[in-house]
Amino acid sequence: MTIEVKMPALSPTMEQGTLAKWLVKEGDTVVSGDILAEIETDKATMEFEAVDEGTILSIAVPEGTEDVKVGTVIATLGAEGETAAPAPKAPAPKVADEPAAKAAEPVAAPAPAPAAEARPAPARAAVPKAAEKGDRIVASPLARRIAEQTGIDLAGVQGSGPNGRIVKADVVDAKPGTAV
């Protein structure tokens, strides 16, 4: 009997997340409480635990996939020796469709971009004060990862989140190579 492992809602408002890292692989045996994966939201990175016992038959959503909707089948769990049914292959096109939808989003993104570019200008004036004080940069884990991958210096980014926290949108709006 196969069990579908679905993308969890890590908070009441979570609609999607990034499957940052698988901590198991196909064929691994898991028990309830074992950590299966790390899932990132715009606010935090959390570990996802198994609620059932069995063997990982298939992983439907690859590591690093962004914008995985809550409830999407991300893996299939079954009894040892059991093989994966064809059903897990159905979510794979959904994952493929999501990047296509994501690719369509940047078409709409240029309109808000000028407003976003206006934000970092005052930030650069305010940021040196924080750097002089030795304050640490407050940023979400997802924002830190994106900044690292794109070469953006978070010290030069103005945060728009609570208490000036740097969130994903701030890093996406910043230009690569931005530095103070």
CA distance 147 to 173: 11
Answering whether pTM is above 0.85, one says: no
Q: Which two tokens stand for residue 69?
A: 């909707």
pLDDT given at position 138: 85
pLDDT given at position 153: 86
Q: Which domain holds residue 144?
A: 113-173
pLDDT given at position 108: 43
Domain count of the fold of the chain: 2
pLDDT given at position 85: 54
Residues of the chain with pLDDT under 70: 81, 83-135, 176-180
**Domain boundary residue among 60, 87, 108?**
108
pLDDT given at position 83: 66
**Domain boundary residue among 87, 108, 129?**
108
pLDDT given at position 32: 86
Q: Which long-range contacts (CB under 8 A, 24 or more apart) does 155-159 make?
A: 155/127, 155/130, 155/131, 155/179, 155/180, 156/120, 156/123, 156/124, 156/127, 156/180, 157/120, 157/123, 158/119, 158/120, 158/122, 158/123, 158/124, 158/126, 158/127, 159/123
pLDDT given at position 97: 44
The terminus-to-terminus CA distance of the chain in angstroms comes to 56
119 and 50: one domain?
Answer: no
pLDDT given at position 129: 36
pLDDT given at position 163: 81
pLDDT given at position 68: 92
CATH number at residue 16: 2.40.50.100
Residue 68 sits at φ, ψ, to 5 deg, of -80, 120
